[in-house]
Amino acid sequence: MFKKKKIREDFDAVFKSGDEAAIKRMLDENPWLLEQVSSEMDNIMTDQRQVIAALGVMEDELGGAVPIDEIIFSLRVDFALRKEEMLVQELLNNVENLGLVKREGNGWILTNEGGRVCDDYLNRNLEDIEL
């Protein structure tokens, strides 16, 4: 267990450095790392999609830019998810960098691509979500 923790810490450092050859070498030597990294990325992407969907729901309801507290409210009420404001802010900043949302005034709006991500998430999960 301790050995895996050390390997994971080393991998994180190599990954942050961006050295593709070293990343590939570590993944080849430790195939379990790929599954772990993929799982973490899936979780991050799911969180991002949930925030985008909550933003889309509230944008439709409010008819304009959505303050972060309304996004958190939608996550809690519409999606039965509790997320801290700091995490939601970080996720919004990340998806803004991806061009899926934009800051407008004191709130957030979806871009066209963000709207497609929102619709896709809602369509795939509509039976689980009561709006």
Which sequence spans correspond to the domains of the chain? 44-128
CB of 101 closer than 8 Å to CB of 108: yes
pLDDT reported for residue 31:
86
pTM (two decimals): 0.76
What are the tens digits of pLDDT across the range 24-44? 898 889 888 888 877 777 888
Across 13-22, 96-105, 119-128, which has the greatest mean pLDDT?
96-105
CB of 67 closer than 8 Å to CB of 106: yes
- Whether the pLDDT of residue 14 is over 60: the answer is yes
- Is it true that domain 44-128 has CATH number 1.10.10.10? yes
Query: CB pairs under 8 A, 24+ apart, for 10-18?
Result: 11/37
Question: How far is the first Cα of the chain from the last one, in angstroms, to the nearest whole number?
Answer: 44
